[in-house]
Structure 1
Amino acid sequence: MKLSIILINYNSSDFTLRCVASIREQTRVPDYELIIVDNNSQPDDFARLQPLAGEPAVTLVRSRLNLGFAGGNMLGVQAASPNAAYYFFLNNDCQLLTDVCGRLYEYMEQHPDVGVCVPQMYNEAGERQHSFSYFPTPGVKLVGHGAMRLFRPDGYPSLKTAYEMPVRVPVVSGSAMFVRATAFAEVGGFDTVYFLYCEEEDLCKRLAQRGHPAVLVPDARFVHYSGGSTRRNLNIEKEFYISLFHYYRKFHSWPARLLLRLFFFLKTIRKVNRDRMYAPLAFFILRGSPVRDSLRYKQNIARH
């Protein structure tokens, strides 16, 4: 197999089925496989996916534990062909508008140094969306990417520009990551300590450190439906900061982490009048957003 397309399903089989249909309709790469990882959905939701298991080049894997984004995708890699040249990690709430896989495959074959690329994202209204972002450095968080661009214009390409040609970007969107398998293996794949959030920043950072840049390929296009996104609440907000500070512990010094902890505490505590949820969240940040409080550790192994 030249390409392994990996989807994660979590109680969202309708999105998954529509995503698979768009892959079948648009993809012209002759040798590809679909790996669908069910992240411990409800039995009736998983049952809707069962017919896919009978289709050619489709593998349906069910986890008895919600492994999160990174863990679910790594389970997909385990089930993928060992000879795959590329992995396409695609959110199930996406639909391809063009031959995304063929275009990204062609680009990666022509640029062997590139580690990961991303197509151009649109919303369901047809409006162009950001397909890339910036590393969450202390500079970006404290003064903003606009100010940082004054010092390093090449490191902060504009989010507002409608690019027509491929452009190097810091971090690709996690909703559609087309990754070179050898580079992915070289850096050890996704860090499965992350349960939700920051997985793409972490992966792009480690790829860049090994000389494998990230690229936006704008003539490959897809839709990302907001309806499949995670609903925000206190636990989900905590999970964001758990991931963010895990990233900082890996790539930034303790003085920078302390400064950021105080910054986010003050930024969050100011929102208490808007929603009382922000009070416990602010003090959670002040405590350092410990990984032990992740939702990963608040679940049981399914027995069905």
Structure 2
Amino acid sequence: MTLVTAIVVAFDSAEALPECLGALKAEGLPVIVVDNASTDDTVVVAERCGAQMIRNAKNEGYGRANNLGARAAASEFVLVVNPDCIVGQGSVAALLDAARRYPDAGLFAPRIVEPDGRVFYQPRSLLSSYLPNPDGKLVLPEGEACAPFFSGACFLVRRDLFLRLGGFDENIFLFYEDDDLCRRVADAGAALVYVPQAVVRHARGKSTGAKPGRVFKSRWHQAWSRAYVSRKYNLPNPAPVMFAINALKTLGVSLTLQRGLIERYGGSAAGAYASLSGRTALEEEGLS
């Protein structure tokens, strides 16, 4: 059995893929690229780089597409990697070494470095049942450490555990699927381990090319998913407040004719309203 398979979910990611897939190839990993109906040269680029392809007729969303890749893999572990992540030399070996040393752990997260050199580390999560960190104070661990949540941009997970838990929640199209998965891994009694000697560079926001309307859609799903996971774990519903605040902001910025701000606040208001109205993310994307 193959030890690790990398899963890369792509959507109009032709620009980011060559460096991402090149780094994975240098690590000796087989790669499955799940293409979410890209309109650019994503498929051509991925095939040229030697990746196995799964081509979706429609954009299935981040979590659903990763689940397809994980089910298609034949390996003990899967490495979930965003197209705008570049896995550093020796990082996969470091993650696997941690998995060997911590057999009771299920998910292993590398040190993610942003373009400005800042280390991304999630100081708190909406879904944290312990270590809530209400002030959001960020303190980076000095070495390997357990934590309740890690970024979904790149992580190693035991494939059998991932599939046993149902993978990512397929009701979520985008956003908070990583928080939800980490919560379920922890609730299943498996530790989540930070492995800082494994380094991944993250060119944040470069996974998908910019197009009109994408900011609106992104903010729609961010608001809807926040409300969804809050209800899922019996937390206070944030949708009423999100709708009110962002509807007012949309009215305010509409006078400025700044498209980006109108999409940002309008998308958040629309996503919150959809949640209040009982509309699902899958219905919004024509997937229901």
| Structure-1-length-normalised TM-score | 0.79
Alignment check: 8 A CA contact 1:94 1:224 kept: yes
Q: 1:77-226 to 2 correspondence within 5 Å? A: 77-81=70-74, 84-125=75-116, 127-137=117-127, 146=133, 148=134, 158-159=137-138, 161-226=139-204
2: distance between equivalents of 1:237 and 1:97?
31
Mean Cα displacement is larger for which, 113-122 or 39-48? 39-48
Q: Which runs of 5+ in 2 are unaligned?
A: 254-260
How big is the shift at 1:283?
Answer: 6.2
Provide closer, same or farther for how the CA distance between residues 52 and 291 of structure 1 changes in structure 2, counting only shifts above 3 A. Answer: farther
Matched-pair contact (CA < 8 Å) for 1:39–1:64: yes
Amino acid at match of 1:292: R
Contact 2:111–2:197 under 8 Å retained in 1: yes
Alignment of 1:76 with 2:77, yes or no, is no
Question: Unaligned stretches of 5+ in structure 1?
Answer: 150-155
Indicate if the aligned counterparts of 1:5 and 1:89 stay in contact, CA closer than 8 A: yes
Distance 1:208 1:132 in 2: 16
* Alpha-carbon distance in structure 2 between the residues aligned to 1:252 and 1:108: 32
Give matches, 1:231-246, under 5 Å.
233-246=215-228
CA distance in 2, matches of 1:228, 1:266: 31
1:48 and 2:45 aligned: yes
Shift of 1:177: 1.6
Question: Does the 8 A contact of 2:21 with 2:49 survive in 1?
Answer: no
Residue 170 (structure 1) shift: 1.8
The superposition leaves residues 6-52 of structure 1 with CA deviations (integer Å, 9 ceiling, x where unpaired) of: 11121112311211111223x26xxx421111111126432232223
**Displacement of 1:97:** 2.3
- How many aligned residue pairs are there? 272
Query: Which amino acid in 1 is paired with 2:3?
Result: K
Task: Supply the distance in 2 between the matched residues of 1:97 and 1:78 (Cα, whole angstroms).
Answer: 26
Identity %: 24
Tell me how far apart the structure 2 counterparts of residues 117 and 138 of structure 1 sit (CA, whole Å): 17
Deviations 1:240-289 (A, max 9, x none): 12211221221115xx22xx233323443453424455367436525535
Question: What value does the CA root-mean-square deviation take over the aligned residues?
Answer: 2.8
Superposition deviation, residue 171 in structure 1: 1.2
